[in-house]
Amino acid sequence: MSGYGKSTNDVPLEGSIPTGTAPLESILCTEELQRRPSRPPDYEKENRALVKLVSALADSPGTIFQTLAETIQDITQCDSAGLSLLTKDGKKPHVEGQRFYWPAICGMWNPHVGGGTPRNFGPCGDVLDQNRTLLFTHFERRYPYLMPVSPTAEECLLVPFYVDGKAVGTIWGIMHSERRKFDAEDDRVMASLGKFASSAYQSWMHIEDLEIQVAKREKAEAEVRDLASGLEAKIRRLVEANVVGIVMWNLEGTITGANEAFLHTVQYDREDLAAGRVRWKDLTPPEWSDRDERAIGQLKATGIFQPFEKEFFRKDGGRVPILLGGALFEGSGNEGVAFVLDLTEQKRQESARVYSEERYRVVVETASDAVVNVDDKGSIVFANPATATIFGYDPAELAGKPLTLLMPEYMRELHQTGFKRYLATGRRHMNWQGTELTALRKNGEEFPVEVSFGEITRDGHKTFTGFLRDISKRKQAEQALRRSEAFLAEAQHLSHTGSFSWRVATGEITWSEQLYRIYELENSVPVTLDLIRTRVHPEDLTLYERMVEEARIGASDFEWQYRLLMPDHSIKYMHALARPTRDQDGQLEYIAAVQDVTARRLAEEARDKARSELTHVARVTTLGTLTASIAHELNQPLSGIVTNASTCLRMLAADPPNVDGARETARRTIRDANRASEMITRLRALFSKKSAVIQSMDLNEAIREVIALSLSELQKNRVILRPELAHDLPLVTGDRVQLQQVILNLLRNASDAMSTIDDRPRDLLIRTEPEDNDRVRLSVSDVGIGFEPQAADKLFEAFYTTKNEGMGIGLSVSRSIVEHHHGRLWATPNNGPGVTFSFSIPCRPEGLTSDGTRAGRIPSVSDAA
């Protein structure tokens, strides 16, 4: 309990009902009023009190509650008196309030003014609940929150009061001691005062209402006054701000008043105005008089004239464009007010705008893109000259035509649907900036265009301006680029060559498709140096690391060969070439080509292995095909031997014996036998499988031997051989037998090439000549069927042949031999019919060792002779 009401006027609104509090009956003693002796009524005193109350109500309604409380105390002679009113917010009376508050108290409880009790837990609430006068004794026994309110109430008499039949409060009197007890007379007086309080309360409420209404009206009036004065101020401000010119005028042509803005516009001053020198009729140039007359006609009819543009003369005689609008004063047939807006700036802006539009028009008309303006019905309003170039339509011819005319048939419906949807919903069915579409020329040709559209809304209607760019050429270029990229990819594929770029700074590596294929990696895998490392052959890793390091530091061309070890343990041979470049930011970037040379390497190895075997095969093959020739060559001397020997025998058998003749024939026999022997020796040297013997040799002599061997073969083929062997030919270092094989081969080929030639002599020229740089050249020219120029390189490929028979192995082996001698072998078509095969070899090739000790093993004609 101690928590409650320390302060005198602080009785809490809410309070719990403590257990063991006294029941309501124990604090009520209303029946005592009838049992106690009652004092006589003092009507005079009562009347005086009521008069006092009424006059208080009339003079100062705000004090009515205080006066009522004093009256109660005065009449009942109690210790404290006051009234409780229901309130919602604790300040203003309200019939639906949940709390009583004490607006006025006199006597001993006066300090508690402003306090109160809860509606449903307190004496006042009990009074309203029972709707009658109640007498309490020590109500704090039931309502402990009243205990701190001192002094305690020995007895308290409470009377309800009503407004419009609704209880809104109580009036009460309290005795703090047993000095006096309330009686029936108190009950009566209090009821009477309660009735008075009801009407007083109603009056007070009414007065309150009135006051509120008055306050409201006064506030509204004040606002109107403020507004009026504000408006006036604004108008005044408008005139004085001199934003527009304001003039007072009359129909006679006089301007009676004007602000500075107007005077400034026409360049007159206030003295001119005061002197009546500023007359609107004089300010108006003659050609504007008619327009003025029309405005005056309108004024007379309607009291105002619509603003119109005209000109005024300035004082200096120049003209100023203005907008003029005005009205007659109400009730005046002659005078009025007008505003004058100086249009100089607007005119200037308009001119700028016209200029800007003109510029725009020039841009549109000279644009190389077609510019087409379309209204919201989809009809073409305007088309620029480029439209003619691009679409083939005259711009004038397009006006009013639907935009769909410029589209292929199959696009029109789609366009119209999209266009309508856009107008209805504002949803675009395509990108308006740079969309690629197909367009239709007047001649029916479809072509790709890039379309950009913009829209302008004017007077509620949308118009659209489209820029259509013919991108056929760009498309073709793109296609060509794609094709060229495809070619490149194909070329890379065919040549087993991939390419890559490597930005050293960022480590960014880009691979071509083919390179992924070579490395057998998925295209999607991002390439890193580490990834590449996983494929490099372990033995080449050191080399790889070194190359990467060097590439990082230096910026020079790189070429290196390395191996890859694939997951299936196969090995790939790679040949890489890299070239450094600088990108736009100056960063080092390598562009590289990587070729898979595995096939070539394997072929080279196989070739080296096969070469020696092949050389022998070639010899044997040559031997085989030359058997007939060899037989012929041997049979010739044998024939001579047999004939001579026969003759010799016959001469010796004659009588007398022809000894001289026999001697002669025997001599010839020996000569022919030697010839045959030489032949056999040469053949054995030529066709035996022998390792190369390098020696210094006379090429002419070697040729003569070959000619001797093949002459009959050539003759059989009716070939006319013309040797032109240089006399001053230097000796060459080489393998005599190998070179002779080459010569033999060339002669045979030449002979074969002429086997079908019958319309001209089958001339075969074999020539030797010294060349510069210590070289010698041998050429063999025929007049045969020749070869196609494009076959020139293929001639030297193994197994390539233009002949129906033969292995065609000769030329490739020949070339190998010549190249082994550091020379070269080539073929050129003659000016006339046939071909010339030539080889050129250095006289002293480096790397070929001259083996003098073995030179003797090569027999020659001179040895045998």
**Cβ distance to another protein smaller for residue 607 or 632:** 632
**Cβ distance to another protein smaller for residue 430 or 653:** 653
Smallest distance, Å, CB 715 to another protein?
5
Given 269, 272, 376, 664, the residue binding another protein (CB under 8 A): 664
Beta strands in 534-634 (DSSP E): 558-565, 571-582, 588-596
Smallest distance, Å, CB 750 to another protein?
15
Q: Does 642 bind another protein (CB under 8 A)?
A: yes
Smallest distance, Å, CB 764 to another protein?
10
Given 367, 543, 638, 855, the residue binding another protein (CB under 8 A): 638
Backbone region of residue 729 per phi and psi (left: phi > 0; alpha: psi in -120 to 50; beta: other values): beta
Q: Does 680 bind another protein (CB under 8 A)?
A: no
Cβ atoms of 331 and 339 closer than 8 Å = no
Collapse the DSSP code of 571 into the 3-class scheme (helix H, G, I; strand E, B; otherwise coil) and give the result. strand
Q: Does 707 bind another protein (CB under 8 A)?
A: no
Given 651, 747, 795, 818, the residue binding another protein (CB under 8 A): 651
Closest C-alpha to 99, from 83, 86, 112? 86
Q: Does 704 bind another protein (CB under 8 A)?
A: no
Given 115, 640, 823, 834, the residue binding another protein (CB under 8 A): 640
**Cβ distance to another protein smaller for residue 406 or 626:** 626
Instruction: Report how far residue 415's alpha carbon sits from residue 400's, in angstroms, rounded to the nearest whole number.
Output: 17
Residue 656: cis peptide before it, omega within 30 degrees of 0: yes
Smallest distance, Å, CB 663 to another protein?
7
Binding piece for another protein, criterion CB under 8 A, among 287-295, 512-520, 593-601, 633-641:
633-641
**Cβ distance to another protein smaller for residue 137 or 715:** 715
Chain center to CA of 95: 72
Smallest distance, Å, CB 778 to another protein?
22
Instruction: Report how far residue 777's alpha carbon sits from residue 114's, in angstroms, rounded to the nearest whole number.
Output: 141
Given 552, 716, 760, 794, the residue binding another protein (CB under 8 A): 716
Q: CA distances (Å), 571 to each of 565, 594, 625, in order?
A: 5, 15, 43
β-pair partners for 134: 158
Cβ atoms of 303 and 338 closer than 8 Å = no
DSSP code of 379? B
Return the residue matching tokens 């809860």: 118
Q: Does 641 bind another protein (CB under 8 A)?
A: yes
Closest C-alpha to 364, from 385, 379, 393, 380? 385
Q: Does 677 bind another protein (CB under 8 A)?
A: no
Q: Does 366 bind another protein (CB under 8 A)?
A: no
Query: In this structure, is the dihedral angle defined by the CA atoms of residues 261, 266, 271 and 275, taken in order, positive or negative?
Result: negative
**Cβ distance to another protein smaller for residue 45 or 716:** 716
> β-pairing, 80-87 with 335-342?
unpaired
Beta strands in 330-420 (DSSP E): 335-342, 370-374, 380-383
Given 70, 186, 187, 672, the residue binding another protein (CB under 8 A): 672
Q: Does 719 bind another protein (CB under 8 A)?
A: yes
**Cβ distance to another protein smaller for residue 416 or 674:** 674
Given 14, 660, 758, 788, the residue binding another protein (CB under 8 A): 660
Q: Does 864 bind another protein (CB under 8 A)?
A: no
Given 306, 570, 646, 688, the residue binding another protein (CB under 8 A): 646
Return the residue matching tokens 């649907």: 417
Q: Does 118 bind another protein (CB under 8 A)?
A: no
Q: What is the arrangement of strands in the sheet containing 588-596, beginning at the earlier edge strand?
A: 508-511, 497-503, 588-596, 571-582, 558-565
Binding piece for another protein, criterion CB under 8 A, among 217-225, 273-281, 656-664, 809-817:
656-664
Q: Does 623 bind another protein (CB under 8 A)?
A: no
Given 87, 492, 512, 644, the residue binding another protein (CB under 8 A): 644
Collapse the DSSP code of 756 into the 3-class scheme (helix H, G, I; strand E, B; otherwise coil) and give the result. coil
Instruction: Report how far residue 103's alpha carbon sits from residue 97's, in angstroms, rounded to the nearest whole number.
Output: 14
Q: Does 749 bind another protein (CB under 8 A)?
A: no
Q: Does 17 bind another protein (CB under 8 A)?
A: no
Q: Does 665 bind another protein (CB under 8 A)?
A: yes
Residue 595 sits at φ, ψ, to 5 deg, of -110, 135
Given 319, 668, 690, 854, the residue binding another protein (CB under 8 A): 668
Tokens of 575: 């040949």
Residue 478 sits at φ, ψ, to 5 deg, of -60, -40
Instruction: Report how far residue 134's alpha carbon sits from residue 116's, in angstroms, rounded to the nearest whole number.
Output: 18
Smallest distance, Å, CB 805 to another protein?
16
Binding piece for another protein, criterion CB under 8 A, among 157-165, 220-228, 312-320, 669-677:
669-677
Smallest distance, Å, CB 708 to another protein?
13
Q: Which positions from 407 through 446 interact with another protein, judged by CB under 8 A?
A: none
DSSP code of 378? S
**Cβ distance to another protein smaller for residue 668 or 777:** 668
Given 654, 670, 680, 864, the residue binding another protein (CB under 8 A): 654
Burial class of residue 46, CB neighbours in 10 A (0-12, 13-18, 19+)? middle
Smallest distance, Å, CB 714 to another protein?
8
Q: Does 670 bind another protein (CB under 8 A)?
A: no
Instruction: Report how far residue 549's alpha carbon sits from residue 552's, in angstroms, rounded to the nearest whole number.
Output: 5
Tokens of 479: 């296609």
Instruction: Report how far residue 580's alpha carbon sits from residue 590's, in angstroms, rounded to the nearest whole number.
Output: 4
β-pair partners for 777: 769, 840
Smallest distance, Å, CB 647 to another protein?
4
Q: Does 47 bind another protein (CB under 8 A)?
A: no
Residue 261 sits at φ, ψ, to 5 deg, of -60, -45
Q: Does 633 bind another protein (CB under 8 A)?
A: yes
**Cβ distance to another protein smaller for residue 456 or 659:** 659
Smallest distance, Å, CB 671 to another protein?
8
Binding piece for another protein, criterion CB under 8 A, among 8-16, 231-239, 347-355, 671-679:
671-679
Cβ atoms of 92 and 116 closer than 8 Å = no
Instruction: Report how far residue 771's alpha carbon sits from residue 636's, in angstroms, rounded to the nearest whole number.
Output: 38
Given 202, 254, 643, 700, the residue binding another protein (CB under 8 A): 643
Residue 585 sits at φ, ψ, to 5 deg, of -90, 5
Instruction: Report how far residue 541's alpha carbon sits from residue 529's, in angstroms, rounded to the nearest whole number.
Output: 12
Q: Does 392 bind another protein (CB under 8 A)?
A: no
Instruction: Report how far residue 581's alpha carbon sits from residue 217's, in angstroms, rounded to the nearest whole number.
Output: 90
Q: Which positions from 285 through 314 interact with another protein, judged by CB under 8 A?
A: none
Size of the site for another protein (CB under 8 A): 37
**Cβ distance to another protein smaller for residue 721 or 827:** 721
**Cβ distance to another protein smaller for residue 471 or 721:** 721
Residue 706 sits at φ, ψ, to 5 deg, of -65, -40
**Cβ distance to another protein smaller for residue 371 or 651:** 651
Helix%, strand%, coil% for the chain, nearest 5: 45, 25, 30
Instruction: Report how far residue 772's alpha carbon sits from residue 64's, in angstroms, rounded to the nearest whole number.
Output: 148
Binding piece for another protein, criterion CB under 8 A, among 149-157, 663-671, 780-788, 824-832:
663-671
Smallest distance, Å, CB 640 to another protein?
3
Q: Does 674 bind another protein (CB under 8 A)?
A: no
Smallest distance, Å, CB 737 to another protein?
25
Binding site for another protein (CB under 8 A): 628, 631-633, 635-644, 646-647, 650-651, 654, 659-661, 663-665, 668, 671-672, 675, 712, 714-716, 718-721
